[in-house]
Amino acid sequence: MKTAYFNESFAYLQLSIFTAAVLLFQYKLFAFAFILTFGLIIFLLFMSKQERVFSWIIAGYLTGSLLFLYGDKMLDALPIQHYILMIVNRFLLLIPILLLVYISKKFNKTVISLWRKPDWNSQIFFPFLFSGFHSLKIKYFLVIAIIVNFASFAYSILSAENSYTKDFLIFLICFSIVNGIMEELLWRGIILSRMSELSGEKAAVLFSGLAFGFSHIMLGYSFVTCLLFAVGGIFYAAITVKSRSIFPAVIWHVAMNLFMILSGLIPFPG
């Protein structure tokens, strides 16, 4: 009984350390983020028999994110239109993705356990996603969610002075698709899978959503806005877990990117 309680508590501690490390990294406190992570690895190595895969996932994510920043600086030196650079920047997410793929394979894990056809008839509940007084099939929930998101952006979209040039349309479509796919592969594909193995689905949905929201701080968004992104991340994770597939979250995420660009929340660099 005590062992089970310790394992559960320690799993939550690892999730908390990951979330804290993401937050430290986003505020450019890189040394503190890595010290926290490698302190956890050393503790697990000498003090605990608990499986160590997630501690290495944290280290891999931070290392990949640091390499991502270096890659982004190299892109800035290229004589290419800025909107093209922003699209290429999203492909740099392959760096942390490939590092986490390598770590997962080293520990004999299925890299993305939710890479499969969605169960569109699975139920999602209100108001707590996993339980509540009302349920809705995933296929209906996704349609309603996208409509509600569009309605919330409608005024900003109609007020925005978008020129709808060829360059703008290329950016709108390519950035939305590439960013949606890459972020979902990273966050709901790999990180959510490893978190679910560590602590169960409910905790994984919460912590992966929080960390996902915080990961946008370095992009210039306010902390409050990033908390809203975290709420979105929790919903993306919940629909992934409930449908047993990352594809509904990819569709939703791409739609959100489209709305954010059209409304100016993600500005077109021209």
- Residue 239 included in any domain: yes
- Residue 269 included in any domain: no
Q: Would you give the end-to-end CA distance of the chain in angstroms?
A: 60
Handedness of CA 219, 253, 112, 197 (dihedral sign): positive
- Residue 167 included in any domain: yes
Q: Which domain holds residue 150?
A: 2-263
- 49 pLDDT band, cuts 50/70/90, is low
Nearest to 204 by CA among 213, 188, 186, 192: 192
- 6 pLDDT band, cuts 50/70/90, is low
- Residue 12 included in any domain: yes
Q: What is the pLDDT of residue 47?
A: 61
For residues 193-199, average pLDDT? 93
- Residue 112 included in any domain: yes
Q: What is the pLDDT of residue 11?
A: 87
pLDDT at 128 over 60: yes
For residues 194-214, average pLDDT? 95
Nearest to 264 by CA among 155, 170, 156, 169: 156
Please state, for a pLDDT cut of 90, what percent of the chain lies above it.
Answer: 76
- Residue 83 included in any domain: yes
- Residue 270 included in any domain: no
Mean pLDDT for all residues in the chain? 91
pLDDT at 50 over 90: no
For the segment 88-108, what is each residue's pLDDT rounded down to a tens digit? 999 999 999 999 999 999 988
- Residue 186 included in any domain: yes
DSSP track, 51-98? --HHHHHHHHHHHHHHHHHHHHHHHHTS-S-HHHHHHHHHHTTHHHHH
Phi and psi, residue 128, nearest 5°: -105, 15
Task: Count structural domains, the chain.
Answer: 1
